[in-house]
């Protein structure tokens, strides 16, 4: 329980850090194709692919789920995963619209390849989990066969999200705190850089603790 409380606060901390970064230093939010529309991308990705994703993955680690009927917990697990997925798709819409409006090509960076790959795996995981565990038609042997695969990809996707977030924050700081245009460049570690680097480390810490709880 103290572990749950700590993990919950850490998750809220990640959401707070990414929101403050985008609001205070990156000009806030809008849904208009501008750089302020881009700002929804980090917020939605961290909230969906890390914090809500982690919450969904940990549902079966809560002691109350070990007693009584399993169906309500399956509903909670798959609904949290669905909300996480919807936020992630909105986060993609934010960055694609920004790129289209500003004439930037899509899907060129390693960050974008890894990120889209992560989200595609996530959608496969959702569809396969839904078909195997929630639909009543799936035979028991199929469930037993698929379960360890589902659990392995559950952790793998979280790991890939963490790598996507780190590469995204890193590149955004290089873009925004460029040598010429920013008043203090990234190299000289202005407060924004320290703040967003810490955000990256908090995301890693949150992810590692979730993986630790899943590994037990």
Ligand X SMILES: O=C1O[C@H]([C@@H](O)CO)C(O)=C1O
> In angstroms, rounded to a whole number, what is the distance separating the alpha carbons of residues 125 and 80?
13
CA distances from 150 to 81, 143, 158, 216 (A): 13, 10, 13, 16
Distance of CA 1 to the CA centre of its chain: 24
List the single partner that 174 binds among a copy of itself, ligand X, ligand HEM, none, CB under 5 to 8 Å by kind.
a copy of itself
Other CB atoms within 10 Å distance of the CB of residue 105: 9
* Unique residue bearing structure tokens 């680097």: 197
User: By C-beta, is 106 or 179 nearer to ligand HEM?
Assistant: 106
Distance of CA 151 to the CA centre of its chain: 17
User: By C-beta, is 169 or 202 nearer to ligand HEM?
Assistant: 169
Q: Which of residues 70-109 bind ligand HEM (CB under 6 A)?
A: 74, 77-78, 81, 92, 95-96, 99, 106-107, 109
User: By C-beta, is 105 or 148 nearer to ligand X?
Assistant: 148
Q: Where are the alpha helices (DSSP H) in 21-177?
A: 35-38, 40-45, 53-58, 71-101, 110-129, 140-176
CB of 6 to ligand HEM, least distance (A): 18
List the single partner that 184 binds among ligand X, a copy of itself, ligand HEM, none, CB under 5 to 8 Å by kind.
none
Q: How many CA atoms lie within 13 A of 180 on its CB side?
A: 0
- Tokens in use for 40? 């929804």
Q: What is the DSSP letter of 107?
A: S
User: By C-beta, is 72 or 191 nearer to a copy of itself?
Assistant: 191
CB of 199 to a copy of itself, least distance (A): 9
- Tokens in use for 211? 């993986």
- Tokens in use for 29? 């939010």
Residue 121 near residue 148 (C-beta atoms within 8 A): no
Among 46, 59, 92, 162, binds a copy of itself (CB under 8 A): 162
Among 108, 113, 147, 178, binds ligand X (CB under 6 A): 147
Q: Which of residues 148-167 bind ligand HEM (CB under 6 A)?
A: 150-151, 154-155, 157, 161, 164-165
The yes or no reply on residue 36 touching ligand HEM (CB under 6 A) is: no
| Contacts to ligand HEM by CB under 6 A | 41-42, 45-46, 49, 56-57, 60-61, 74, 77-78, 81, 92, 95-96, 99, 106-107, 109, 111-112, 115-116, 118-119, 122, 125-126, 129-130, 133-134, 147, 150-151, 154-155, 157, 161, 164-165, 168-169, 171-172, 214
């Amino acid at each position: 329980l103290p572990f749950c409380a700590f993990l919950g606060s850490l998750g809220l901390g990640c959401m707070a850090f990414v929101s403050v970064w985008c609001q205070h230093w990156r000009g806030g939010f809008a849904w208009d194709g501008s750089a302020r529309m881009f700002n929804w991308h980090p917020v939605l990705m961290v909230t969906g692919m890390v914090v809500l994703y982690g919450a969904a993955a940990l549902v079966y680690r809560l002691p109350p789920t070990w007693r009584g009927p399993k169906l309500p917990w399956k509903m909670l697990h798959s609904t949290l995963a669905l909300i996480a997925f919807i936020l992630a798709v909105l986060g993609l819409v934010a960055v694609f619209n920004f790129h289209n409006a500003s004439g930037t090509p899509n899907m060129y960076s390693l960050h974008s390849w890894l990120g889209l790959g992560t989200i595609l795996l996530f959608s496969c995981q959702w569809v396969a989990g839904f078909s195997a565990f929630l639909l009543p038609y799936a035979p028991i042997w199929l469930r037993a066969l698929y379960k360890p695969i589902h659990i392995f990809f559950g952790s793998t996707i979280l790991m890939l999200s963490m790598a996507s977030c780190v590469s995204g924050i890193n590149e955004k700081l290089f873009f925004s705190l460029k040598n010429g245009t920013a008043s203090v460049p990234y190299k000289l570690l202005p407060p924004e850089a320290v703040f967003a680097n810490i955000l990256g480390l908090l995301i890693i810490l949150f992810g590692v603790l979730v993986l630790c709880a899943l590994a037990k």
